[in-house]
Structure formats: structure tokens, C-alpha cells
Amino acid sequence: MKSNRAGTPESTGRAGDDTGMPVIRVLVIEDQTLFRDGLMKLLGEQAELEVVGMTDSLVVAADQIRRSRPDIALLGWPASSSNSQRIFSTIHEAKAPTRVIMLVKDDVKEDFVEAVRQGCCGIVPKQTSTELLLKSIHKVHAGEFWLDRMTTADVIRRLAKKGPPAPTSGARLGLREHAAALSQRELEIVVLVAQGFKNKEMAERMFISEQTVKNHLHNIFDKLGVSDRLELALYAIHNNLHEAT
């Protein structure tokens, strides 16, 4: 892949790979040169991916988001840093379609919560395998959240413990509409999911079978338009549904 004088890859202008699928356009934002170069090489070898830029500069990254409007941004800065917060603000202000995947160190767990609160769609440890990194890019591009199981449980429990801001009158109206769409049993399950309980634990707590819990979850996903447990938990916390019972 060619690079311009600033070291930023030039867009190839590809509309899709050999299978006709659209190419996922990726921006890499990372301070560590060796790690950043490794990502550049790895992603550049994937026919379905196009690296539209790589940088360790906030100014360059923000400019790339505004001009290139990448599908995915791989962000290696801590979520609590002012630089990361500015990246999320830039995406919001520019109304860019960019979905952020945080590249984090295994020992910085508080960042997981902060990242999700800011709008992060995926969290991937820097020590992860190539296969899982590529899978996370495809899943997040498809509109899903990406966290491993341990991170998911940690995020849900911390978010539920901290709680969301008080809802506005519009949000309270939405809450009543959402709650009305759910049965009392389904609402109880939403609360437990948002508190980090697993299916087996919910079944034991509610004196029902694990299969019944799964059936309820399937109905809840359909009614609320979410695709998985994490999305349900985040949705519930954002709308105060985790305190509805």
C-alpha cells in the first residue's frame, strides 16, 4: 500500500473486495510506533480492509475523521485521556459514521467503563490474536458491540453500579413506552441482565428453567431491537430500565 510524505496511507478508492463486498475503511490511532506499524502491515494484507490513515497525532486523527469519514477507528489511547474524549467529540460533531474500537492494555479495566460511556463500540486487548482483532472489526462494522466475556461482565456490573445520568422528560416518556412493551417477567430479566447475571443464575433466582430465560431474552431482543446481552444491558442502563422494578 502506498504512503504519502506524512506517512499516511493513500486511499486506494476501492469500492469492494474480490467478492463484491464493500471494503471496510479503517483509521489507526496509536502512539507506539512499532505496534502501529504492525497493525498497518496486518490490516493492509486484508482484501476487505482499507487503511485510510494511521497517526499518533490528535490533530491529524480529527482531520482524518472529518475528511475521510472512516468506518472504523482503532484507538490506542486510554479512554480517560483528553485525546480520546476529543476523538469521540469529533465523531459526534462531524456526524461521522465512524465506530470506535478501543485497543487497551489488560490491566486498565476502568477504561472499559469510560470507553463504553463515551460511545465506544468495541474493546480489544492489545495482546489479542490477529483472528479476534479482524473479527471484532467485522462485527463492529456490522453494528454489533465487541467485548470478550470477562470484559462484558465487568462493563455491565460497573455501569450498573455507577448508573446513568437522570433522564430528561423525553427519556422518561421513552422509558414508559419501553416498559409497556415488556411483560413484568421480561422487565425482571432486563434488570438482572443489566446487573450482570448469567442465564443459569437468572433461572435459579426466578425459579424458572434456563430455556425459559432464553425464550424471554429472544422476545426482549425483538421488542427492543437489540442484538445481544451487552447491547441489552447498555440499552437498559441508558434508559433507566435497570431500575424499573
What integer best gives the mean pLDDT of the chain?
A: 79
Record the cell numbers describing residue 191, joined without a space: 434488570
CA dihedral 57, 98, 89, 7 (to 10 degrees): 10
**pTM to 2 decimal places:** 0.65
Contact 53, 6 (CB under 8 A): no
Q: Specify the pLDDT at position 68.
A: 94
Instruction: Determine contact, residues 57/98, Cβ cutoff 8 Å.
Output: no
Average pLDDT on 178-198 reads: 82
What crossing angle do the helices spanning 184-194 and 229-238 adopt, rounded to 10°? 100
Task: Identify which has the larger pLDDT, 33 or 157.
Answer: 33
Encode pLDDT of 31-70 as tens digits: 999 999 999 999 999 999 999 999 999 999 999 999 999 9
Which among 106, 103, 110 is positioned nearest to 38, based on CA atoms? 103
Contact in structure between 27 and 64 (CB atoms under 8 Å): yes
What integer pLDDT is reported at residue 104 of this predicted model? 84
The domains located in the chain, with CATH, are 24-147 (3.40.50.2300), 165-243 (1.10.10.10)
Cα-based torsion angle of the residue sequence 33, 81, 112, 230 in order, rounded to the nearest 10 degrees: -100
**Is the model's pLDDT at 237 over the cut of 80?**
no
Which neighbouring-strand residues pair with 131? none
Look at residues 221, 228, 27 and name the one whose alpha carbon lies nearest to residue 139: 228
Coil, helix or strand at residue 121: coil
CB atoms within 10 A of CB 56: 17
User: Which cell numbers in the block locate residue 229?
Assistant: 446481552
Q: So what's the pLDDT on residue 115?
A: 73
Q: In this structure, are residues 120 and 151 in contact, taking their beta carbons and an 8 Å threshold?
A: no
Residue 174: pLDDT above 70?
Answer: no
Mean pLDDT of 190-205: 86
Is pLDDT of 169 > 60? no
Q: Which three cell numbers stand for residue 217?
A: 431474552
Q: Of the candidates 9, 13, 4, 14, which has an alpha carbon nearest to the alpha carbon of residue 28?
A: 9
Is 60 exceeded by the pLDDT of residue 14? no
Q: What's the average model confidence in pLDDT over 25-29?
A: 96
